[in-house]
Amino acid sequence: MSAHPQFRGHMLIGGELVASGSNKWLESVDPSTEEKIGEFPAADAQDVNKAVSAADNAQPAWAALDISQRAKYLHQLAKRIRERGDELLHTEVLDTGNTITPMRGDIENAAWQLEWYSGLATEMKGETVPATTKNLHLTVREPYGVVTRIVPFNHPLMFAARGIAGPLIAGNTVVIKPPETSSLSSSILAELCQEVLPPGTVNIVTGTGMSTGDALVRHPLIKRIVFTGSVPTGMAIQRSAAQVGVKEITLELGGKNAFIVYPDVDIEKVSNAIVAGMNFGWSSQSCGSTSRVMIHSSIYKQVLHAVTERVAQIKPCNPMDPKSRMGPMNSKHQLDRVNAMIASAIKEGATLMTGGKRPDGKDFEKGYWVEPTVFSDVQPQMTIAREEIFGPVLAVSSWDDETQVMNVANSLEYGLTASIWSNDITRALTAARKIQAGTVWVNGVGTHFKGTPYGGYKNSGIGRESCMEELLSYTEVKAIQILL
Q: Any idea which residues carry the catalytic annotation? A: 252, 287
Least Cβ distance, residue 162 to ligand NAD (angstroms)? 10
Asked if residue 418 binds ligand NAD (CB under 6 A), the reply is no
Considering only residues 161 through 190, tell me which ones interact with ligand NAD, judged by CB under 6 A: 177, 179-180
- Whether the CB-CB separation of 181 and 154 falls below 8 Å is answered with no
Binder of ligand NAD out of 37, 54, 81, 150 (CB under 6 A)? 150
295 Cβ neighbours under 8 A, 6+ residues apart:
261, 303, 304, 396, 397, 398, 399
Asked if residue 209 binds ligand NAD (CB under 6 A), the reply is yes
10 Å CB burial of residue 453 (0-12, 13-18, 19+) is: middle
Q: Which one-letter DSSP state was computed for residue 454?
A: B
Asked if residue 461 binds ligand NAD (CB under 6 A), the reply is yes
Asked if residue 210 binds ligand NAD (CB under 6 A), the reply is yes
Least Cβ distance, residue 351 to ligand NAD (angstroms)? 26
* Closer residue to ligand NAD, CB minimum distance, 21 or 209: 209
- Whether the CB-CB separation of 160 and 467 falls below 8 Å is answered with no
Asked if residue 237 binds ligand NAD (CB under 6 A), the reply is yes
- Whether the CB-CB separation of 151 and 184 falls below 8 Å is answered with no
Nearest partner of 384 among 254, 455, 293, 265, judged by Cα: 293
Q: How far apart are CA 250 and CA 405, in angstroms?
A: 31
* Closer residue to ligand NAD, CB minimum distance, 422 or 439: 439
Count of residues that interact with ligand NAD, criterion CB under 6 A: 30
User: What Å distances lie between residue 422 and 64, 89, 256, 275, 411, CA to CA?
Assistant: 52, 38, 21, 17, 22
Binder of ligand NAD out of 57, 230, 272, 344 (CB under 6 A)? 230
Least Cβ distance, residue 252 to ligand NAD (angstroms)? 3
Binder of ligand NAD out of 145, 163, 171, 229 (CB under 6 A)? 229
Sequence letter at residue 84:
R
CB atoms near residue 105 (< 10 Å): 14
φ, ψ (nearest 5 deg) of residue 398 = -115, 160
Site string for ligand NAD, 355-394 (x = CB under 6 A): ---------------------------------x-x----
Asked if residue 153 binds ligand NAD (CB under 6 A), the reply is yes
Q: Is 297 left (phi over 0), alpha (psi -120 to 50) or beta?
A: alpha
Binder of ligand NAD out of 255, 281, 319, 355 (CB under 6 A)? 255
Kindly indicate which of the ranges 147-155, 317-325, 396-404, 427-435 contains the residues binding ligand NAD, using the contact rule CB under 6 A: 147-155
* Closer residue to ligand NAD, CB minimum distance, 307 or 437: 437
Kindly indicate which of the ranges 54-62, 151-159, 269-277, 397-405 contains the residues binding ligand NAD, using the contact rule CB under 6 A: 151-159
Least Cβ distance, residue 255 to ligand NAD (angstroms)? 6
Least Cβ distance, residue 83 to ligand NAD (angstroms)? 27
Least Cβ distance, residue 134 to ligand NAD (angstroms)? 47
Nearest partner of 30 among 94, 117, 107, judged by Cα: 94
Binder of ligand NAD out of 254, 277, 328, 463 (CB under 6 A)? 254
Kindly indicate which of the ranges 73-81, 122-130, 211-219, 266-274 contains the residues binding ligand NAD, using the contact rule CB under 6 A: 211-219
235 Cβ neighbours under 8 A, 6+ residues apart:
none
* Closer residue to ligand NAD, CB minimum distance, 80 or 247: 247
Strand partners, 140: 478
- Whether the CB-CB separation of 476 and 170 falls below 8 Å is answered with no
- Whether the CB-CB separation of 155 and 106 falls below 8 Å is answered with yes
Residue whose Cβ sits closest to ligand NAD: 209
Count CA within 13 A, CB hemisphere, residue 160: 32
Sheet with strand 439-442: strands edge to edge: 351-354, 373-376, 393-399, 292-296, 258-261, 417-421, 439-442
Asked if residue 463 binds ligand NAD (CB under 6 A), the reply is no
Q: How far apart are CA 431 and CA 424, in angstroms?
A: 11
Strand partners, 475: 143
Least Cβ distance, residue 57 to ligand NAD (angstroms)? 23
Tell me if residue 204 falls in helix, strand or coil.
Answer: strand
10 Å CB burial of residue 350 (0-12, 13-18, 19+) is: buried
Binder of ligand NAD out of 152, 277, 327, 359 (CB under 6 A)? 152
Binder of ligand NAD out of 109, 228, 284, 439 (CB under 6 A)? 228
Asked if residue 311 binds ligand NAD (CB under 6 A), the reply is no
Binder of ligand NAD out of 18, 111, 151, 158 (CB under 6 A)? 151
Kindly indicate which of the ranges 1-9, 152-160, 257-265, 441-449 contains the residues binding ligand NAD, using the contact rule CB under 6 A: 152-160
Tell me if residue 226 falls in helix, strand or coil.
Answer: strand
Which residues are at the interface with ligand NAD (CB under 6 A)?
150-154, 177, 179-180, 208-210, 213-214, 217, 228-230, 233, 236-237, 252-255, 287, 388, 390, 416, 456, 461
